[in-house]
Structure 1
């Protein structure tokens, strides 16, 4: 067998030496402060049972879609689920994708055209950054949540179709943009606003509708991208928008045309997840209680200066240095808490952090013990 390609091996060796080589880690039984399963839906016996009963009742027995939605994969269950999603989010249509990455890359490959311009927040997540080059449009990033910088870029490109891209909750910092101001700005210059709500679904709004609907801005957004892998605890994603947007995606997104569709089991999980959002707000309220308690405790323990300001389920403590932040994460894991260190170059050097994900099932006792341990490891590192 040939050795691995010589052009890549030095990079692997360098990451191994710097202890930044990514590795797959098996699931563990540590207390979960790492997953994006914000509402605990992935482990809900009630939701799993409801999904099974729904499939049996409707005699949906297929284990796989067997093809793309253009061939043998399109099923009436997709139409039912997409109608529920669109109604829930007060939009004309919803189009289901296999994952958030598929949806994001599909949007940028199909919608912005040559001669158009994409302006995106510098902290947009990787799938947005990966998707933008799939478009023939030019693209520039603007400073994080800096709308003066954004407006300068808009003014430099008159008579241009402009797509402005942001997240309602940023995946690494957990902070939110001033969406009301951003809507005003995009309206002023007749731009098209695209908002990724991956980490807002199930977290904001009385029924978890997301940050956009909580502010009543849904009619001002050109496209919303949702992922179900987080709050709904299941596979899949959707793009929300007009009938024309859906037609454009169906017609021009080549990956959507040629990728095997989600199984009926996965689509049923999406549908049942939305039904539970509509009928039971208890997990959402518990998640908010966890978030409030977490913020109270970090203030009491003088940890607030470490953290990026956030009212979401994502709380990030900046601890510069890959070795330093990794050491603290390992200490927390040894004490029974699953907390992940985010290293550079995933985040800029000097912005390495512990990323805490809060859940409806995290108890006050768990949060209190976790932050007390963090305080000890930060302020008394010799212990």
Structure 2
């Protein structure tokens, strides 16, 4: 057995020497949360939890889904929730997946065909890249938010062309130039797909996202919305026209060959969006905390990292520096995590700071002052 493990042990040892070997750690609940994606505090909301549980009491359904959606896993509740989501996001139809990862995997491995081209922003999430690799289409990245580079590659693309981006980038906190991307998509007859993982619930009316907020729904071919971040629960959906949804039901392997989400998960999605509709003040409070942080921090940051999203970035350069600064902040009571290479490029290691509606003004100011004392 030892010989069989030799290669993978060597790879793990190499990571340990480089200072980027990962391990699973429990969250220290005593620290002030500046690392989770729980932007609106839904994951910790007793009100939302009670609302979900009370609704579940009256749900005359199974505990589990019992199978895939194409066998025994479909339900009236599932189709009801998907219809509500499509209406909220402004599309003809939607399809719920177990996670944002499987939603992107399911789309990009399925829709683009042999002879087509997928162009994705180089900083797109791993699931977009993995889905593209599984596709029979040719795929290539374009430089981050670089419209000129994208246009050069559009001119060379073959077949039907798919452009993939994130509305808010998970490791950088900056925004995709969605209006300009829509214009390029129309100019070259390409299909734009936007991942709203970090903007669902935070932007747009009733949390419908940036595509809806910018009134671009008619120009964006498909959107991936996820529910495990600002919505505080789990799962994701793809919203598009009915033909795209029907095609994925028939051909998307990550959708077909997996057990469907449980009735409890569908109910949680439904209740979370109803809860958000009744609490528009949470997104307002989050935006106030973002403004407070940006005004208080004195650490030099490149313009691209001066974000109005909940994700704030401080570049530290080097895994050891990122980890040591993160440890110092945690000793001061702030849960801030280091993002190491190879998750980000070498030399762009960073502190990834997530702001929330539940962080008090004093907590936000305290973190900014701590960063100023450590890094200025």
C-alpha deviations, 1:58-91, integer Å up to 9, x for none? 334x322121112221111111111111111111
C-alpha deviations, 1:329-350, integer Å up to 9, x for none? 0000111111110011110011
Match of 1:234 in 2: 233
**Contact 1:205 / 1:214 at 8 angstroms: preserved in 2?**
yes
**Contact 1:82 / 1:96 at 8 angstroms: preserved in 2?**
yes
Q: How do 1:325-344 residues align onto structure 2 when only pairs under 5 Å count?
A: 325-344=322-341
**Contact 1:183 / 1:193 at 8 angstroms: preserved in 2?**
yes
Shift of 1:157: 2.6
Match of 2:352 in 1: 355
Partners of 2:304 and 2:17 lie apart in 1 by 29
Shift of 1:328: 0.4
**Contact 1:342 / 1:353 at 8 angstroms: preserved in 2?**
yes
- Say what the alpha-carbon RMSD is for the aligned residues: 1.4
Indicate yes or no: 2:62 matched with 1:49.
no
Shift of 1:108: 1.1
Q: Which runs of 5+ in 1 are unaligned?
A: none
Q: Which runs of 5+ in 2 are unaligned?
A: none
**Contact 2:98 / 2:261 at 8 angstroms: preserved in 1?**
yes
Shift of 1:205: 1.8
State the SS of the aligned residue for 1:346.
Answer: coil
Partners of 2:305 and 2:153 lie apart in 1 by 27
For residues 286 and 162 of structure 1, do their structure 2 counterparts lie closer, same or farther at Cα, with a shift above 3 Å needed? same
Match of 2:133 in 1: 133
Shift of 1:208: 1.9
Match of 2:279 in 1: 280
Match of 1:321 in 2: 318
**Contact 1:107 / 1:249 at 8 angstroms: preserved in 2?**
yes
Indicate yes or no: 2:97 matched with 1:97.
yes
TM-score by length of 1: 0.95
Match of 2:193 in 1: 194
Q: How do 1:125-274 residues align onto structure 2 when only pairs under 5 Å count?
A: 125-157=125-157, 160-274=159-273
C-alpha deviations, 1:73-114, integer Å up to 9, x for none? 111111111111111111101100000111011111111000
How many residues of Structure 1 are paired with residues of Structure 2 in the alignment? Answer: 375
State the SS of the aligned residue for 1:51.
Answer: helix
Shift of 1:303: 4.2
Match of 1:124 in 2: 124
Partners of 2:23 and 2:177 lie apart in 1 by 36
Partners of 1:302 and 1:73 lie apart in 2 by 51
Match of 1:7 in 2: 7
